[in-house]
């Protein structure tokens, strides 16, 4: 990574969602804070654990078994062996593996939590986690197997195992045994101290990492959906008066007002439609649909960033008094609710854009555009079908997105001998949110290309922002004159979307 790359500092100060995503996307590096007081606090926490062991204190997960087995005492002769047992028996994750970006985000989220200084871990553990980020040594984490309390135990066991030179990692773009990667780096595998496997595993880092990435995608999707709506209003010769500032002053939800303001800017040169006094709801009510997402981003950020910058394992260790505090901070309820809510917010965007696309292709509602947005000349119009299948696909993706909004957090299951008898399902909610985002982005890609075709066929002058967007898109997406397979272009559109390639609205 070049020396000029910005670096995120892990330490006592909070970090943001955007910091995690920048690290995940390799747009930023990392460093540990060099503040002496903070480093001493970390050392005091680790020393407090060692002192308790010397005093033969009774500490959950250190001198006892785990979970319901907390009533089982572990003799001091076995305490050193217990850490490996924890990450070993949790090595049962299944499903797809998190990609490299997600794995980096997980490391960042876990590191920031441990940097709060309440987890009783050594500075050496924090240094190794940061070093993994620096050299891009990543745990290979299966995404299934967490109920979201006691945290993300099973997926985070793959982080603990990597640090100890076990299981597989992603190293230099390939899946490799962790022991081989550590040897190539010249690193000695860590031997975890008694509190450290719990500190690594008994927390919410996986769900929080996924939530950070979902948030940034949803924020960009909001802006893109607004721009697509503006293009569709133009293509359908809609009525720009629906977005009058005076209207929205009468119902002043801030996010709704912001979306309407963006639309006014994009439609500044449009004349009020003489064809319809009132457009159909998917155009007229777009600020009201998108505004709910816009107005929710603030509290979603609060939930996610509070979790990100928290100590969320159990037990916590007061580094000053040495007191052990047994609690339930591993419970991912805030992330679960945030992600269950985000699923619904985003699926409504899919539904909105799908309805706009349905208007574009239907000659009953598109105000004179060709059927299915076909650009074929008259002599070939009868055999060309334009965006007909694209609209069918968008309908399928929308339906699946809507189906995916069933809240995960209400499906708590009593597990682990009824010790974990109420769990958050936060990681499942976060994974669901990512899937709903994927499907909605597919709908957005389809509707964007259709909107681009619509404004081309209409031929009306566009405002400067819309004209600039169309010019950018035209560099890669040509008008559809004769039918062609559009899957490659849809995938390219998704790639541009997911890398946030288009500048949309300034903050």
By C-alpha distance, which of 260, 268, 269 is closest to 226?
260
Is 87 among the residues known to form the active site?
A: no
SS3 95: strand
DSSP of 77-88: HHHTTHHHHHHH
Q: From the candidates 60, 87, 158, 331, which is the catalytic residue? A: 60
SS3 129: helix
Query: CB within 8 A of 260, min separation 6: which ones?
Result: 243, 245, 247, 248, 287, 291
Query: CB within 8 A of 62, min separation 6: which ones?
Result: 49, 52, 53, 74, 79, 82, 194, 195, 198
CB 454 within 8 A of CB 235: yes
Alpha helices by DSSP H, listed for 322-370, are 333-361
CA distance readout (Å), 341 to 23, 123, 162, 457: 25, 37, 33, 38
Composition of the chain by helix, strand, coil, percent to 5: 55, 5, 35
Strands 168-171 and 174-177: antiparallel
How many Cβ atoms from other residues are within 10 Å of residue 427's Cβ?
32
Token representation of residue 342: 């985000």
Give catalytic residue positions. 60
């Amino acid at each position: 990574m070049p020396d000029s790359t910005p670096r995120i500092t892990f330490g006592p100060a909070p970090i943001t969602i955007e910091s995690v995503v920048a690290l995940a996307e390799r747009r930023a590096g990392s460093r540990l804070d060099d503040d002496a007081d903070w480093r001493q606090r970390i050392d005091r926490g680790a020393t407090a654990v060692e002192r308790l062991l010397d005093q033969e204190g009774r500490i959950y997960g250190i001198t006892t078994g785990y979970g319901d087995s907390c009533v089982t005492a572990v003799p001091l002769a076995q305490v050193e062996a217990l850490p490996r047992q924890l990450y070993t028996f949790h090595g049962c994750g299944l499903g797809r593996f998190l990609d490299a970006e997600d794995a980096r985000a997980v490391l960042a989220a876990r590191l920031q939590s441990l940097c709060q200084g309440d987890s009783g871990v050594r500075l050496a553990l924090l240094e190794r986690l940061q070093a993994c980020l620096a050299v891009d040594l990543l745990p290979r984490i299966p995404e299934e197997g967490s109920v979201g309390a006691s945290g993300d135990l099973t997926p985070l066991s793959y982080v603990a195992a990597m640090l100890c030179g076990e299981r597989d990692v992603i190293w230099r773009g390939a899946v490799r045994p962790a022991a081989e990667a550590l040897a190539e780096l010249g690193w000695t595998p860590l031997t975890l101290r008694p509190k450290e496997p719990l500190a690594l595993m008994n927390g919410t880092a996986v769900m929080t990492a996924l939530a950070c990435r979902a948030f940034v995608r949803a924020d960009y999707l909001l802006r893109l959906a607004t721009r697509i709506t503006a293009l569709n209003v133009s293509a359908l010769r809609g009525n720009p008066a629906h977005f009058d500032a005076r209207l929205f002053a009468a119902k002043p939800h801030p996010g709704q007002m912001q979306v309407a303001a963006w639309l006014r800017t994009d439609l500044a040169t449009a004349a009020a439609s003489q064809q319809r006094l009132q457009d159909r709801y998917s155009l007229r009510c777009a600020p009201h649909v998108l505004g709910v997402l816009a107005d929710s981003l603030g509290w979603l950020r609060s939930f996610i960033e509070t979790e990100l910058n928290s100590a969320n394992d159990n037990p916590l260790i007061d580094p000053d008094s040495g007191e052990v505090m047994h609690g339930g901070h591993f419970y991912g309820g805030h992330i679960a609710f945030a992600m269950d809510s985000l699923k619904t917010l985003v699926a409504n965007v899919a539904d909105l854009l799908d309805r706009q696309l349905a208007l574009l292709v239907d000659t009953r509602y598109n105000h004179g555009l060709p059927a299915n947005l076909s650009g074929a000349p008259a002599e070939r119009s009868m055999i060309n079908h334009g965006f007909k299948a694209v609209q069918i696909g968008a309908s399928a993706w929308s339906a699946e997105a809507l189906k995916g909004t069933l809240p995960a957090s209400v499906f708590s299951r009593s597990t682990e001998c009824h010790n974990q008898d109420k769990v958050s399902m936060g990681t499942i909610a976060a994974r669901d949110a990512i899937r709903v985002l994927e499907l909605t982005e597919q709908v957005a890609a389809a509707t964007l290309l259709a909107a681009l075709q619509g404004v081309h066929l209409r031929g009306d002058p566009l405002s400067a922002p819309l004209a600039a967007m169309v010019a950018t898109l035209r560099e890669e997406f040509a008008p559809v004159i004769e039918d062609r397979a559009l899957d490659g272009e849809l995938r390219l559109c998704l790639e541009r979307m997911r890398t946030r390639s288009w500048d949309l609205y300034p903050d």
